[in-house]
């Protein structure tokens, strides 16, 4: 399936589920992992707005799989334990909108320009790599489940009072010219406690952010338009 095929199938499903949440559990934290996340999060927001129960601090696009992949690929290249590597991944959750901030990785790592470019491309296209490896038998499932569980446990920990819980997520944002953007978020009892923003970017990463804008804005608008035209 292309992401357009995915949109046509999943947009209706997400809108229907969120409509149910708006009616029956409007205060719930809503974590959306259904692709294309760049469009399904705007859909979620617009449906909640229609019901007058919109709270941007409680709607999350789960992009954790990008972080898990970035951590794994960096760890492999540097001979590190992936559980101890943390690469923030910002932007969106598709192709060139996936922006790994390797300059902000902990522990600090460095790569020559050509390797950095190839690594970034591999993180952006990892979903396609899995689809090709499965040769038509599906897409990423186990890693997706793992990523969804990780984000959900983090959010539950924060809701239960644990302090200092930070995860990246695609949310309503004022950090860039895009209405929605993924950045590291401090999570708390009420959802987003604080948006930690982009931090200091390298010149390479600044260009990645600039290059992602057009596609990201288009995907966001597509989600918003879907709800506007819903019967």
Active site residues: 93
79: left (phi over 0), alpha (psi -120 to 50) or beta: left
Report the distance separating Cα 139 and Cα 179, nearest Å. 29
| Concatenated DSSP letters of the chain | --HHHHHHHHHHHHHHHHHHHHHH-TTS-EEE-SS-HHHHHHHHHHHHHHTT---GGGEEE--HHHHHHHHHHHHHHHT--GGG-B--EEE-SSGGGEEE-GGG-BS-----HHHHHHHHHHHHTHHHHHHHHTTTS----HHHHHHHHHHHHHHHHHHTT-SS-EEEEEEE-SSSSSSEEEEEEEEETTEEEEE----SPPHHHHHHHHHHHHHHHHHHHHHHHHHHT--
């Amino acid at each position: 399936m292309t992401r357009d095929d995915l949109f046509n199938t999943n947009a209706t499903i997400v809108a229907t589920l969120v409509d149910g949440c708006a009616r029956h559990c409007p205060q719930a934290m809503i974590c959306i992992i259904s692709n294309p996340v760049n469009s399904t999060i705007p859909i979620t927001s617009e449906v909640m707005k229609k019901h007058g129960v919109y709270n941007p601090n409680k709607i999350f696009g789960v992009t954790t799989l990008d972080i898990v992949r970035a951590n794994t690929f960096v760890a492999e290249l540097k001979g590190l334990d992936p559980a101890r590597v943390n690469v923030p991944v910002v932007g969106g959750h598709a192709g060139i909108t996936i922006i790994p901030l390797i300059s902000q990785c902990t522990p600090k790592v460095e790569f020559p320009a050509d390797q950095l470019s190839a690594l970034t491309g591999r993180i952006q296209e990892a979903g396609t790599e899995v689809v090709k490896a499965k040769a038509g038998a599906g897409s990423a499932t186990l890693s997706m489940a793992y990523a969804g569980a990780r984000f959900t446990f983090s959010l539950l920990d924060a809701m239960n009072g644990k302090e200092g819980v930070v995860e990246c997520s695609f949310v309503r944002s004022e950090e860039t010219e895009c209405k929605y953007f993924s950045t590291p978020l401090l999570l708390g009892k009420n959802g987003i406690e604080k948006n930690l923003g982009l931090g200091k970017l390298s010149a390479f990463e600044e260009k990645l952010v600039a290059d992602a804008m057009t596609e990201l804005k288009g995907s966001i608008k597509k989600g918003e338009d879907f709800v506007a035209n819903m019967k």
